[in-house]
Amino acid sequence: DSGVTQTPKHLITATGQRVTLRCSPRSGDLSVYWYQQSLDQGLQFLIQYYNGEERAKGNILERFSAQQFPDLHSELNLSSLELGDSALYFCASSPRRDSHYEQYFGPGTRLTVT
């Protein structure tokens, strides 16, 4: 158990819908990363937050957005869902911004868009 929690574990929804994935980092970790794992694209970095502020963006679609709240939990919002958005979404946390620190992965949320 990495100490990172993600809810829900599984999510099934229809095209065009909007969903919110939630991540609670390890106690004390300030940095949160979101990754998408799909059959087509493999594991891709989406976005990073540090202490409530967006720090870096990867291959994140405009239909996707995220935020980190004062209690440091983070949410990834996916809207106008398409079949291709079906994937496993991971959240990872680390203590600081610096790359010296490890990233600890949550168990992931499996999103299925039908």
Closest CA to 113 of 1, 46, 50, 21: 21
Token code pair at residue 46: 């989406």
Task: Please identify which residue in 24, 33, 76, 113 interacts with other proteins, judged by CB under 8 A.
Answer: 33
Task: Please identify which residue in 3, 8, 16, 58 interacts with other proteins, judged by CB under 8 A.
Answer: 58
Asked whether the bond before 107 is cis by omega within 30 degrees of 0, the reply is no
Question: Is-contact 101 80, C-beta < 8 A?
Answer: no
- Reduced to 3 states (helix: H, G, I; strand: E, B; else coil), residue 83 is helix
Q: Does 67 bind other proteins (CB under 8 A)?
A: no
Cβ closer to other proteins: 22 or 105? 105
Stretch that binds other proteins, among 17-25, 41-49, 61-69, 75-83 (CB under 8 A): 41-49
Token code pair at residue 22: 């939630």
Token code pair at residue 43: 């594991």
Write down the least CB distance from residue 83 to other proteins, Å: 20
Q: Does 56 bind other proteins (CB under 8 A)?
A: yes
Chain residues binding other proteins by CB under 8 A are: 2, 31, 33, 35, 42-45, 48, 55-56, 58, 88, 90, 92, 94, 97-100, 102-103, 105, 107-108, 110
